[in-house]
């Protein structure tokens, strides 16, 4: 089936289990691609919905998703209730005193890929995996990279019936692209098959150290690495930091139209 433009009603059934905020291009009928955004540890979906709106990407439906678990009060920066994370668990590294960067992402991966991507965007609206970009910050960036990595063995992410060849074809081994800001690739989301091929999904990683960037390059063929002048891992704050992100996204959006 040809893709149709999603409406807010299409997403209503998943709102209770995967709260999110939508930003449609103007007009909505101009939608040609979909951007799914994952916030960092302890944040929520609204700031990233604002970020997507400010990017004002032509023809892009942006879906900012809330983390799949509330952040325990002991880790929350304040007493508010708008703090979420993507991990299966939270644990402290006894060597560094920091939170484990790879808490497992099985629950988040299952909800995002099964409920949002497969059931809603692909089965219900007719879109394909290569219409979709992932954007993440911090822990959300790790999830974004991990989802793209796991697409190499798609059955680990979604439930595909044996006879559903049409769905299998639409959930290809690559997505349109991934932008990771400050989030390393979680080893728990790398397929264990020793003979696995590198992913063809294009990737932009920002603010990773050399070892973290090398780990991404071992699993993806097309990796672009950007480090800003400041060492701080944070969202881009000026044009110089934003430019490589916008260029990468534009490059991926323009594929197939040039």
Q: What is the pLDDT of residues 46-75, one digit of tens each?
A: 999 999 999 999 999 999 999 999 998 878
Tokens coding 46: 């609204």
In a domain, 43, yes or no: yes
Tell me the pTM. 0.92
Residue 171 is classified by DSSP as: S
pLDDT digits (tens, 9 = 90+) for 77-135: 775 678 999 999 988 777 777 788 899 999 999 999 999 999 999 999 999 999 999 99
- Residue 144 contacts residue 38 (beta carbons within 8 Å): yes
Number of domains observed in the structure of the chain: 1
In a domain, 119, yes or no: yes
In a domain, 3, yes or no: no
Domain boundaries, position 64: 8-254
In a domain, 2, yes or no: no
What's the CATH code of the domain at 19?
Answer: 3.40.50.1820
- Residue 44 contacts residue 67 (beta carbons within 8 Å): yes
């Amino acid at each position: 089936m040809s893709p149709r433009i999603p409406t807010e009603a299409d997403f209503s059934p998943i709102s209770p289990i995967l709260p999110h905020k939508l930003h449609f291009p103007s007009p909505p009928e101009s939608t040609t691609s979909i951007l799914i955004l994952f916030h960092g540890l302890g944040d929520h979906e609204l700031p990233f919905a604002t970020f997507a709106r400010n990017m004002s990407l032509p023809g892009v439906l942006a879906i900012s998703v809330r983390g799949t678990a509330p952040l325990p009060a002991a880790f929350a920066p304040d007493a508010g209730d708008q703090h979420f994370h993507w991990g299966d668990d939270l644990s402290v590294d006894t060597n560094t005193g920091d939170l484990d960067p790879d808490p497992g992402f099985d629950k988040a991966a299952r909800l995002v890929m099964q409920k949002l991507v497969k059931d809603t965007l692909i089965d219900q609206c007719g879109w394909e995996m290569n219409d979709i970009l992932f954007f993440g910050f911090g822990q959300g960036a790790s999830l974004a990279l991990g989802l793209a990595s796991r697409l190499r063995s798609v059955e680990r992410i979604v439930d595909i019936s044996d006879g559903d060849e049409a769905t299998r074809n639409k959930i290809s081994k690559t997505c349109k692209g991934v932008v990771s800001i400050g989030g390393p690739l979680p080893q728990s989301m790398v397929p264990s098959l020793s003979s696995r091929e590198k992913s063809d999904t294009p990737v932009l990683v920002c603010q990773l150290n050399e070892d973290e960037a090398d780990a991404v390059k071992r699993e993806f063929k097309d990796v672009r690495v950007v480090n800003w002048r400041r060492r701080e891992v944070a969202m881009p704050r000026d044009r110089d930091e934003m430019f490589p992100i916008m260029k990468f996204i534009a490059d991926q959006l323009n594929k197939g139209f040039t």
